[in-house]
Amino acid sequence: GASEEVAPPVQPCFMVPRKEINVVSDMAKWKRSQAYADYMGFILTLNEGVRGKKLTCEYKVSEPIEKLVALLNTLDRWIDETPPVDQPSRFGNKAFRTWYAKLDQEAEKLVSAVIPRHLADAAPEVAVYLKESVGNSTRIDYGTGHEAAFAAFLCCLCKIGVLRVDDQMAIVFKVFNRYLEVMRKLQKTYRMEPAGSQGVWGLDDFQFLPFIWGSSQLIDHPSLEPRHFVDEKVVNENHKDFMFLECILFITEMKTGPFAEHSNQLWNISAVPSWSKVNQGLIRMYKAECLEKFPVIQHFKFGSLLPIQPVTS
């Protein structure tokens, strides 16, 4: 019979030469890749995991989850230790570069504290995603590509077995929610620019995933419907339970003027009849507007944990 191609032996260490998507023609390769399938599978698994659940409900909190929260608390503390500097331009405070340099230097050590010793070889590769998840230090901007890097960071921790199936709710409600708080603080403190923003036509200047998972939380809610999230009173009373409303609250704090004008896409979503329809629509939009848009995905890193190779399974 025809000789089958033998796959090259997998290197025992996790440090595989990384390729970046640099050319637009590689978008097709990205969509067919194991990385894309694993990433999207991870997002959708968590989407199911938080369905109909409040942020304040009871869930298991494992030791790795606690360690990830501690890591994010460290990043938060560094913001306090790195106040914005006086500069002529209002946006993009250069103190962010000082803050980022610290993360750049410490990332591997931070990741090593989260993963068990027998997986230590994975730390350099996993740390790359952590460093990519907080914004760009040259442009002092932050956007959905950086958010995707944080989700990829968590996905890698699942792939090496640090996070497990029963950590699902804690991954979203405890770790990702803490990540959002730290990112909002970064955005406020250093007045970061939105990266690759579509302006008024984007869903949000900075985030996307909390709208997906947040709408899943609200599926089959007895009284809250999509039309309610533009009601200030509803948001103020329920934001601590629902990620989606927490995002709306942050937008209204940061932007002035009528909601329909500064957040047109979200305003349109408030007319959708049910949360399950909102959730499905947002997943489609996420693929089309974030994962399949070159400016967003061009910096996505590949390695042994999230490979560019075509899907095998």
Say how far apart CA 78 and CA 107 lie, in whole Å. 13
At 293 the pLDDT is 86
Strand stretches in the chain, DSSP E: 141-142, 193-194
Assess contact for 109 and 126: CB atoms under 8 A. Answer: no
Bridge partners (DSSP) of residue 19 are none
Q: Which domains does the chain have, with CATH numbers?
A: 18-85+92-302 (1.20.120.1150)
Alpha-carbon distance of 180 to 247, in angstroms, equals 9
Residues belonging to the chain: 313
Which residues are CB-contacts of 86 (< 8 A; sequence separation ≥ 6)?
none
Contact at 8 Å (CB) between 46 and 38?
A: no
CA–CA separation, 31 and 37 (whole Å): 8
Q: What does the pLDDT read at residue 296? A: 83
pLDDT digits (tens, 9 = 90+) for 21-45: 443 357 888 999 999 999 999 999 9
Hey, CA dihedral for 50, 52, 55, 59, is it positive or negative?
negative
Q: Could you give the CA distance from residue 77 to residue 179 in angstroms, rounded to a whole number?
A: 13
**pLDDT values of the chain reduced to their tens digit, one per residue, 313 residues:** 444 454 444 333 444 444 554 433 578 889 999 999 999 999 999 999 999 999 999 999 999 999 999 999 999 999 999 999 999 999 999 999 999 999 999 999 999 999 999 999 999 999 999 999 999 999 999 999 999 999 999 999 999 999 999 999 999 999 999 999 999 999 999 999 998 756 555 788 899 999 999 999 999 999 999 999 999 999 999 999 999 999 999 999 999 999 999 999 999 999 999 999 999 999 999 999 899 888 888 888 888 999 988 998 6
Predicted pLDDT at 198? 61
pTM across the whole model: 0.92
What is the rounded distance in angstroms from the CA atom of residue 57 to the CA atom of residue 169?
10
Per residue in 85-115, pLDDT (tens digit) is 999 999 999 999 999 999 999 999 999 999 9
